[in-house]
Amino acid sequence: MLEKLSYKHKYYLLLAALALLVVVMYVFAVKKTIAVIAEHNDLSGKIELAASAPQQIVAAEAQLKQMEQLVVNENPLDFEQVLLEQVSGFCQKNGLILIEFPKTTVSGYRDYQIYTNRIVLEGGFKKMVEFIYEAEQKYNIGKIVSVQFKRTKDMRSKRLYLYAYIYFQNIQITQTTQK
């Protein structure tokens, strides 16, 4: 049968057989080899990640400790007493009036105790802003989480009063989890 075909037809038949052979080789050999190489590369990457996991854990723990140092106050002082001393001292020196100093609110979240103090000052805007700045930068008596200024008018005396509502927070790790 092949003898009856011309060289041109034999040539095309040879090309078709060669193409079929390439497809069969790809399906049975090359495709599986490529899949195994891809799986090897994926597993090698996972092994490298697993090998560096202890260093990543140490780095994450160090970052957590650093964040706790910024937020958590480990000093077991009475925040309310220290805050009252600082506020009253500043008010006496600068002509501000301490209007309210309610009791400390304590709330818990997981292994932390959150102490919130609210103070209300009356006086001039510049002095109140100066107090807020010094409380954040110098006194280190807690984080100021909220400040609200409120202006009211006394109808009898027709006088304007400016009040500052300042919220301080301190966070401590509960004693059961401290090391």
- Measured between alpha carbons, how far is residue 97 from residues 60, 66, 92, 93, 103 in Å? 46, 37, 8, 11, 18
Instruction: Say which residues have a Cβ less than 8 Å from residue 16's Cβ, sequence separation at least 6.
Output: none
pLDDT at 74: 56
**Residue 104 is encoded by which pair of tokens?**
């400390």
Integer CA distances (angstroms), 13 to 2, 4, 23, 25, in order = 10, 13, 15, 18
- The owner of tokens 């052979």 is 21
pTM assigned to the model: 0.57
Selection from 50, 51, 28, 31 nearest residue 39 by Cα: 31
Cα-Cα-Cα-Cα dihedral of 118, 124, 129, 132, to 10°? -30
Tokens (6 digits) for 178: 């401290």
pLDDT beneath 50, residues of the chain: 76, 177-179
**How many angstroms separate the CA atoms of 165 and 148, rounded?**
5
pLDDT given at position 72:
57
pLDDT (0 to 100) of residue 70: 61
Q: Which residues pair with 165 in a beta bridge?
A: 120, 148
Q: Name every residue whose Cβ is closer than 8 Å to that of residue 48 and which is 6 or more positions away in sequence.
A: none
- 159-173 and 112-122 as β-strands: parallel, antiparallel, unpaired? antiparallel
Structure tokens given for 134: 């010094």
Residues 6+ apart with CB under 8 A from 135: 86, 141, 142, 144, 166, 168
Per-residue pLDDT reduced to its tens digit, 11-61? 999 999 999 999 998 888 888 888 899 999 999 989 988 888 888 888 888
